[in-house]
Amino acid sequence: MKFRAIMGALCAAGLMCGVTAAQAAESLEVLHWWTSGGESKAVGVLKDDMTKQGYTWKDFAVAGGAGAAAMTALKTQVISGNAPSAAQIKGPLIQEWADQGVLVPIDSAATDWKANLPPQIDKIMHAGGHYVAAPFSVHRVNWVWYNKAALDKVGAKVPTTWPEFFAVADKLKAAGIQPVAAGGQPWQDLTLWEDVVLSQGADFYKKALVDLDQKTLTSQQMVGVFDTVRKIETYMDNGRTGRDWNLATAMVINGKAGMQFMGDWAKGEFANANKQPGTDYICAAVPGTAKSYTFNVDSFVFFQQKGQKEATPGQLALAKTIMSPAFQEQFSLYKGSIPVRLGVSMDKFDSCGKQSYADEQTAIKSGGYEPSLAHGMAQPDATAGAITDVVTKFMNSTQDSKSAVEALAKAAKTK
């Protein structure tokens, strides 16, 4: 009775009555791996939006990117019968979770999505003819980030070929600047490696990493890819083992290193440090990849909740908010990505964002728009994991390129 009296008093005072009972009772537990400065700021926009709609946000953040830690945490929750309301998942993993019968369709929140998503991405959001995932944004993976002052100091221009790249690296090294900032984690190794694969052309990339064509995987050209990666590795520091990507980005931001191979989520770190493109840093396509675009799309899937077979009001509201033009714009401005929703204005975006959007549209039309293997878009986990192991072993040993290619071809057959 006391509780009812208190609630009645609050309502009479004009407090809490704007929130429906259903919303007030629904808590949204959200599993994600956005833990760096720029990422936290971006996901904070969604948290604030949902809170304003009357939902309680329970943050389930797992540091370390889309790796084993996040997926292990998710599997543990689902198996124990405590699946989160939503979880950050992407690529073929979306369909794998759907096949287990633990996701709920969100079609009623996605009435205009098909007309407002690139076809390659719209397809990924589906399973069994229903939308089961909501996409946040598009990241371009094949970027290199340069400290402008470092380039100016050695009188270097942004390289567009590998010979030019190594010439710049030599100049930086001679000036006492670490040429390449890197983090020695498997997904970071694979990011660099797939960048070099892409530099051989979008067709070569597709045959090798999407089609898993054995002839391409065992070609002399692929041996050359490993040779190039080995040479790039000589410009990294010995302290990179286990280093998180954002700490490597910080090396470029503070001028300790000249450049970093990383997707455009790195831009969120520059923005968080109040750095400006063109003035403090330069974003440019990986040498040889200006006309290609490897995409990485973050998404939330929605899990069945206890006693529920359909999506809850909170889950549908979350999905709808994610794909709203206003949220798409603000999230990407903080995250360093570009909106996945077509037609969102790019007016507020900086030169890197506008370049990313222009290159994306060109790549979609020319056939150079490819899913990133390193970021869970191109292959199921087992295959991607086997290839990652090959690349990581190569980068952490003195293995020769030819034997690495033989191991690669074998790994590609992993199911």
- Give yes or no for residue 120 having a pLDDT over 90: no
* Calpha distance 49→335 (Å, rounded): 16
What is the per-residue pLDDT across 135-152, written as a single tens digit (0 to 9) for each?
999 999 999 999 999 999
CATH classification at residue 386: 3.40.190.10
> What is residue 347's predicted lDDT score, i.e. its pLDDT?
97
* pTM for the predicted model, two decimal places: 0.85
282 phi, psi to nearest 5 deg: -130, 135
| 8 Å CB contact between 150 and 258 | yes
Q: Are residues 136 and 165 in the same domain?
A: no
- Give yes or no for residue 334 having a pLDDT over 70: yes
* Calpha distance 103→311 (Å, rounded): 9
Residue 382 lies in a domain: yes
In this structure, of 14-23, 60-69, 100-109, 313-322, the range with the lowest mean pLDDT score is 14-23
Closest Cα partner for 90 from 66, 116, 60?
66
| 8 Å CB contact between 277 and 353 | no
Q: Are residues 37 and 161 in the same domain?
A: no
Share of the chain above pLDDT 90, in %: 80
> What is residue 271's predicted lDDT score, i.e. its pLDDT?
86
> What is residue 39's predicted lDDT score, i.e. its pLDDT?
84
Q: Are residues 189 and 113 in the same domain?
A: no
Q: Are residues 282 and 405 in the same domain?
A: yes
> What is residue 15's predicted lDDT score, i.e. its pLDDT?
40
Q: Containing domain of residue 340, as a range?
A: 22-140+295-351
Tally of domains within the chain: 2
Residue 367 lies in a domain: no
DSSP structure class, residue 238 = G
Residue 11 lies in a domain: no
What is the per-residue pLDDT across 362-388, written as a single tens digit (0 to 9) for each?
998 899 999 999 999 999 989 999 999
